[in-house]
């Protein structure tokens, strides 16, 4: 089993940056598919970013492409989401997710097996 804990959220002004971290325990992340999702008040959870071994490049939702970067540190069992040029539309609770046996990247909720509790990101105008 895998346990995930997100951190790094907070309040920032439009145009600012944050780096979210997702610390995993139980297994090494190198053998899992990894992703980030977010959920704004009154809306459904949506895909943000995913990391793939087979393609060699990450995949991003159109709304964050060019602004967000997903990465990992296998030695620390940690996944990161670097968020730049933030705007109020990015305000949401951000969740990291892990899929067992992940080789490709995954963009839908049913494809993931483990979820963190989320970290709040608020962007003021």
pLDDT, averaged per 10 consecutive residues of the chain (125 residues), comes to 93 98 80 90 96 76 97 87 98 94 85 95 97
- CB atoms under 10 Å from CB of 119, counted, come to 22
Q: Residue 52: its pLDDT value, please?
A: 74
pLDDT value of position 90: 98
Q: What tokens were used for 86?
A: 């933030």
């Amino acid at each position: 089993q895998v346990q995930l804990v997100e951190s790094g959220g907070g309040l920032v002004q439009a145009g600012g940056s944050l780096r979210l971290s997702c610390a995993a325990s139980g297994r090494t992340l190198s053998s899992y598919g990894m992703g980030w999702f977010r959920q704004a008040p009154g809306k459904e959870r949506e895909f943000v970013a995913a990391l793939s071994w087979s393609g060699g490049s990450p995949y991003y939702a159109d709304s964050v492409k060019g602004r967000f970067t997903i990465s990992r540190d296998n030695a620390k069992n940690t996944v990161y989401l670097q968020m730049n040029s933030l705007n109020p539309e990015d305000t949401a609770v951000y969740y990291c997710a892990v899929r067992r046996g992940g080789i490709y990247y995954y963009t839908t909720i049913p494809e993931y097996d483990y979820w963190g509790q989320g970290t709040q990101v608020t962007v003021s105008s």
